[in-house]
Amino acid sequence: MPDIAIGSLRPDEAERCAELETILFDGDSPWPASAFVPERHTRLFAARDDGRLVGYAGIGLLGNSFFPESEVLTIGVDPAYQGRGVGYALLCTLLDEADRHGGAVFLEVRTDNDPARTLYERNGFVTVGVRKNYYRPSGADAYTMKREAQEQR
């Protein structure tokens, strides 16, 4: 992996995230810059190469102390950096957050996104369902995947 630094997403990076969303999720309602503002129960992260944002990820920390769970909201990596471990590093960061929160972790992934599905399976996720016509406006289906609660990493 190149010398990539993972840290919290800064407000001034929201526009770059939206640009990448348009490239990565063309045809599927990419997130606007306003979606990359952390809320009370979300954590957003950035992957940077020499200060330039090359990837981003977000997780929602849901439930309560009795029934916690988390949801991977998004992971996106600049096409020039795909296949170089950036997505893995971002996923590990999200899973560390989820493990501190406790409970299972869920996500949705397009059924035709084999690289992402493989990454998730290698990190303990299993397919638990299919959501028909999940992505709009393309109408693509999504797998719902789950990773059982883990001890804190």
Average pLDDT estimate for 32-44: 93
Report the percent of the chain where pLDDT is more than 70.
97
Does 153 score more than 80 pLDDT?
A: no
What domains does the chain contain, in order, with CATH numbers?
4-147 (3.40.630.30)
pLDDT digits (tens, 9 = 90+) for 83-115: 999 999 999 999 999 999 999 999 999 999 999
Helix, strand, coil shares of the chain, percent, nearest 5, are: 30, 35, 35
Instruction: Catalogue the active-site residues.
Output: 108, 120
Q: Which residues contact 67 (CB under 8 A, 6 or more apart)?
A: 103
Q: How confident is the model at residue 1 (pLDDT cuts 50, 70, 90)?
A: low
Q: Which residues contact 55 (CB under 8 A, 6 or more apart)?
A: 4, 20, 46, 47, 75, 76, 77, 78, 81, 86, 87, 90
pTM score > 0.85 for this model? yes
